[in-house]
Amino acid sequence: MHSSNTILQNLETYRNAAKRFAKEQGYNISIWDLIRFFPSWFRSQNKEASPLIDQVPWLTFAAIQFLEKHLTQNMRVYEYGAGGSTLFFAARVSEVVSVEHDPVWISKVNTLVDSYPYKNVKICLVEPILQTNRVDPKSSDPSAYCSALKKYAEYSFQDYASSIDIYPDEYFDLVFIDGRARRPASNTVFQKLSRMDLFY
């Protein structure tokens, strides 16, 4: 049985956490959304929590809720950047194809995916290629195929961004772009969508 002091301390902890959550969300969120998303946010504050472990995309809680409502078992998803979103989609759609540039990260994701009975996931490693002519990572030129991260300043992500091209037009119902070279990737995906759905 808990003492009244312990209960009061727990209530104070939740109250302070709720204040922090409300402050982080800003003033553009309704009280009902604050109440609805607080448990998910509170769980995410755990030091061991991560989108990969929690099997969720790196998105706002409202965006995750939107996806949960609109994804169906007959949909196909292509994603740039494997992770928690890969497992999230695998549980909800018929096919997930993910392209990832980092061999260490892909190993972690594959290990977790393999621990579940999912047979609908394909994760492809497409590493960037060292280029001789350096491109400004802040370039707005979509044909630059560069990443904004400094460690990839001398690399091209052209193969990564165009990896979706091996699939027929209108094959995917959703393309989720949460990886490198986002602008060039977004320019290559439109004809691959069955409808004009695109998420970043």
Residue 75 in tokens: 């949909």
> Which ranges in 115-181 belong to alpha helices (H)?
158-161
Q: Is 144 helix (H, G, I), strand (E, B) or coil?
A: helix
CA–CA separation, 45 vs 51, rounded Å? Answer: 11
Query: CA 59, CA 80: separation in Å to the nearest integer?
Result: 14
Continuous segment of H or E residues that includes residue 156: strand 155-156
pLDDT at residue 73, rounded to an integer: 95
Model pTM above 0.85: no
Instruction: List the structure tokens of 139.
Output: 């370039």
- CA dist 8 → 2, 4, 5, 12, 14 (Å): 10, 6, 5, 6, 10
Going by pLDDT thresholds of 50, 70 and 90, the confidence category of residue 129 is: confident
Query: Looking at residues 113-134, what average pLDDT do you find?
Result: 89
Tokens matching residue 169: 């037009």
For residues 7-35, average pLDDT: 65
- Percentage above 90 pLDDT, the chain: 33
Model confidence at 200, pLDDT cuts 50, 70, 90, reads very low
Residue 97 scores a pLDDT above 50:
yes
**The tokens of 113 are what?**
């995916």
Q: What is the mean pLDDT of residues 192-196?
A: 72
